[in-house]
A and B are shown apart, each in its own frame.
Chain A
Amino acid sequence: MKREIKVALAGNPNSGKTTVFNNLTGSHQHVGNWPGVTVEKKEGKFTYQGTEVTVIDLPGTYSLSAYSLDERIARDFLLHETPDVVVVIIDASNLERNLYLLCHLLELGTNVVLDLNMMDVVENQGIKIDTSKLSRILNVPVIETVANKNEGMEGLKVAIVTAAENKRSPTFKIDYGKVIEEGITELSELLKDKALPRGYTLRWVAVKLLEADPEILENVESLPQAQQIQKAALECSARLERRLGYDLETALVERRYGLLEGLVRECTERHLGVERRHEISDQIDRVVTNKLLGIPIFLGLMWLSFQLVFTVGSPLAGLIDSFFGWLGDTTSGALEAIGSPGWFSSLLAEGVISGVGSVLVFLPNILLLFLIIAILEDSGYMARAAFVMDRIMHALGLHGKSFIPMILGFGCNIPGIMATRTLKSEKDRILTILVNPLMSCSARLPIYVLFAGTFFPERQGLVVFSLYLMGIVLAILVARLFKSIFFKHEVAPLIMELPPYRLPQARGVLIHMWERGSLFLKKAGTIIAGGVVLIWLLAYFPLHAEYASAQSLIGKLGSFVAPLLKPAGFGFPQAAVALIFGILAKEVVVGTLGTLYSAEGVALKAALLQHFTPLSAYAFMVMSLIYIPCLAAIATIKRETNWKWTGLAVGYSLILGWVVAVLIYQIGRLL
């Protein structure tokens, strides 16, 4: 008989939870998103002695209050999906704070297995934890593991399966002290005969009422005599607060920590030893977050990451690109040779093959980026980067960690947008995503080089620099504007742990890289490939029209759009078509202009000089910088947010690009 059980992993960030997850499930994992939000949800499976165990990795949280998104997800899952067992993974070298989450789970009445992870670190620190005593007092099974050395995993599996069989609910109670306990009893009495929502325990609801937990207050509203209960809860808290001299929320948390402090003292023995890991960690920090060196080191590391992602990645991307170019040519050549219709070979070569190619071409950069991000995160440096840069980014209405996506945006906006995954708050993430396309990516450089070289040969550098700077200034303004419109009342505090530095595990880093990379391929890839085919259709049809010529649909669209671009100084179909093609990928703009003017190199420059003035050329560059993110970026934004934000990103950039280009052209003409 095969049994199936469901297990959730809970734990603080940096407790080694993901490593435990990887060890337990191996390669049998699946990454998706939690319903309705872009927080990664990982699920995996393992079989132990005929029992099939589904493991769900909950977001790393410090507590289960209802204030942050991650905590709400974890809490909702525990309350509504009722896993058979919850494994609480704890960094044993920081017992007290890590155990705090356990308090909440025990109060919730969850069937818990406690995993003391990083026992090697504990040993090095000369601390001895009396595991059996801890298990006895808490009355939960306690397992010791060293996840990054894959030690203790068998024991953990046994404990999980056994706990699922026993199905016991915890007996351990937090003693809140006489005064508060009276209040809990009083409220419990009142709630006793009511049908509590979703099988919460009496005591838990009573405690949460005293804590004024917003979600529970709302839940209680559906009960009969809701008003009476709410009133009683309010009165009771007010009375208790007078007696305690503290507000109840503080008092309850203090009690929990007080209890944990005692528990930890009771169960640990500190031998004489040096806290080596912390000491090394502190020494690294003395350099890395140093007043003078902190920012240069951060910028240096960013430069290095940038180099790795783009300098190492781009040749690989180039190889993929030329491979697909070759594949397209060969395919269409071969097809024509066997006499297939021209539209078919064109669809295959210019549509499908180049569509797939334009997705895969990003893969080297994306994988390298996630490799670096995984290393930065797992080593603990990411938190320091945010610490160092927060002052600047906060002034812009963003979070310290937003800096990295912005920097990466200069290389390519796709990895930039993907890198916002490291941001915890929805507000910070969306703002960072929205303004990221304003970071002038490397694909726009060919446009600048062509136009600046043609029209401003003596001031090329200055002109290009002015465009980069304009992007940054606009990003700041737009971020501030959107913040005040969409996230007026949201506060995203920076209350962030600086975890001890750790050596990243190769396996964990690679898994991380692959998961995020494949997510990009699957989700963004379909949109990108679809978009490429669509543009091909526009350029190819109607039949008999030359590809992308004035007679094609796209050409007609160009002629239709062109008058709108007149105020910006480049109101002719060629520019419009180039810009439409530029949505595919910004670097295509140059190639399209070449095709449309049937000229390359010097001849193209000459053709441009006929159509553009220096002023309208500058306006055109500004337009290329700002208007609509490329298709891949749009797909990635959709992947990371929803259609609403994607629509906004496209819409605002189009309008902003047009407005700025027009302003520059019109004001420039007056001067």
Chain B
Amino acid sequence: MAGIFLFEKISENFVIFFLTKGQKQYIMLALANKERKAYIQEGNEGMNDLTPSLEDYLEAILVTSLRRKVVRVKDIVRLLNVKTASVVGAMKTLAQKGLVAHERYGYIELTHQGVAVASEIYDRHKTLYRFLREVLDVDAETAAKDACRIEHHIGKKTTERMVKFIKFIETCPEGGPLWLSSFHHYAKTGSRPEHCAKREEATGQKVIPRSSPLSSLKVGSKGRVVQITGDQGIKRRLLDMGIVPGTEVKVEKAAPLGDPIDVVLKGYHLSLRRQEASAVTVEVIE
């Protein structure tokens, strides 16, 4: 049962919710609705004064360009479900801002600056999605939709804090008397309170929910490395190859006879037998 048990306005712009779900406590940041407008302006400083819809367009171009060789107006129309005329209009505005080079034949290309701005927006989007999906356990569809809505209204600082917050929850999931202040300390210094590590040891409880051995991940799914166990030599080999806590790994495919598997991490392919992969505990992302 989830329920809000505390509700505090910590500044002009923020409201904080404390939630409980089962044994776990989560906090949630939200914007006080009234203050939204004021915040947008503050948060978007140096962001070329983009409207939310322009940001959506930039993001859409970036995402498409990651998957395809060229981006066409048609692609954006389809992706965002808007009219061609609106896309063309938006591209003009973005071109004026120096973010997009809109060429003939309906091809769109981001400028260097455009890539920078778009990546920042996209990163924010991903972080927000993770926050909603993993911390609040919102279903994937809602998380994606809501992440889109929030993303235009939140600045760099807040994003960074959110990433830290997610990390903090991962390592110190159970609250303590000074939980929030511990987080603040962590956000500033990066060091966690001692009891977090201790408790992990004492209870032997897996800190991260939904963790499983890498060997049992399905083909196509992604995970983040939590810990590596196993034989000295094998463990060291895995670590040296970049399988360190926090690394994102994707099970790309399995060999024709089911073993070994091909895992993508840090931009390269690594093949391991399931036996070796079982030494790696991952937190399932998707």
Contacts and interface: CB of A to CB of B under 8 A. Distances in A.
Given A243-B197, A289-B255, A390-B260, A494 B239 contact: no
B233 interface: yes
Interface in A390-424: 390-392, 394, 400
Contact of B270 (A292, A391, A497): A497
B256 A493 contact: no
B237 A68 contact: yes
A290 interface: yes
A387 B271 contact: yes
A491 interface: yes
B266 A391 contact: no
A294 B254 CA distance: 11
Contacts of B267: 94, 96-97, 278
Contact of A271 (B68, B115, B256): B115
B139 to A, nearest CB: 30
B200 interface: yes
B103 interface: no
A386 B272 CA distance: 11
Given A67-B236, A97-B241, A271-B115, A497 B256 contact: no
Interface stretch (A37-45, A191-199, A250-258, A525-533): A250-258
B268 A495 contact: no
B262 interface: yes
A85 B238 CA distance: 29
Interface string B237-263: 111111011110000011111111010
Point out which of B237, B271, B273 has the most chain A C-beta atoms below 10 A from its C-beta.
B271
A272 B268 contact: no
Contacts of A179: 191
Interface in A163-181: 177-179
B197 A498 contact: no
B244 A250 contact: yes
Contacts of A320: none
A498 B257 contact: no
B133 interface: no
B112 interface: yes
A387 to B, nearest CB: 5
A559 B227 CA distance: 68
B43 to A, nearest CB: 23
Contact of B234 (A285, A294, A383, A495): A495
A457 B276 CA distance: 52
B239 A387 contact: no
Contacts of A97: 241-242, 266-268
B198 A242 contact: yes
Given A94-B267, A254-B246, A289-B253, A245 B233 contact: no
A496 interface: yes
Interface of A is mostly: helix
A244 interface: yes
A493 B273 CA distance: 8
A394 B239 CA distance: 23
A476 to B, nearest CB: 17
B273 A494 contact: yes
B247 A257 contact: yes
Interface in B178-215: 190-192, 194, 196-198, 200-201
Contacts of B241: 62, 97, 495, 497
Contact of B266 (A94, A272, A493): A94
A13 B275 CA distance: 24
A312 interface: no
Given A94-B266, A250-B245, A495 B256 contact: no
A63 B233 CA distance: 12
A291 B256 contact: yes
A496 B277 CA distance: 12
A245 B196 contact: yes
Contact of B110 (A94, A272, A391, A497): A272
A653 to B, nearest CB: 31
Contacts of B235: 249-250
Contacts of B192: 245
A16 to B, nearest CB: 15
B231 interface: yes
A594 to B, nearest CB: 47
A270 interface: yes
A498 B270 contact: yes
A178 B255 contact: no
Nearest to B257: A391
Contact of B112 (A65, A258, A271, A289): A271
Shortest Cβ-Cβ A-B pairs, 8 listed? A245-B197, A391-B257, A498-B269, A63-B240, A294-B256, A253-B239, A254-B244, A67-B233
Interface of B: 62, 65, 68-69, 109-110, 112, 114-115, 119, 171, 190-192, 194, 196-198, 200-201, 227-228, 231-242, 244-247, 253-260, 262, 266-273, 275-276
Interface of A: 62-63, 65, 67-68, 94, 96-97, 100, 177-179, 242-246, 249-250, 253-254, 257-258, 269-272, 274, 278, 285, 289-292, 294-295, 383, 386-388, 390-392, 394, 400, 491, 493-499
28 contacts: A62-B240, A68-B237, A97-B267, A97-B268, A177-B190, A242-B198, A244-B197, A249-B239, A254-B239, A254-B245, A254-B246, A270-B115, A271-B115, A274-B65, A294-B256, A383-B271, A391-B260, A493-B273, A493-B275, A494-B271, A494-B272, A494-B273, A494-B276, A495-B241, A495-B270, A495-B272, A495-B276, A499-B269
Given A270-B119, A391-B259, 10 more contacts: A62-B240, A67-B233, A97-B268, A245-B192, A250-B239, A289-B256, A295-B257, A388-B256, A494-B271, A499-B268
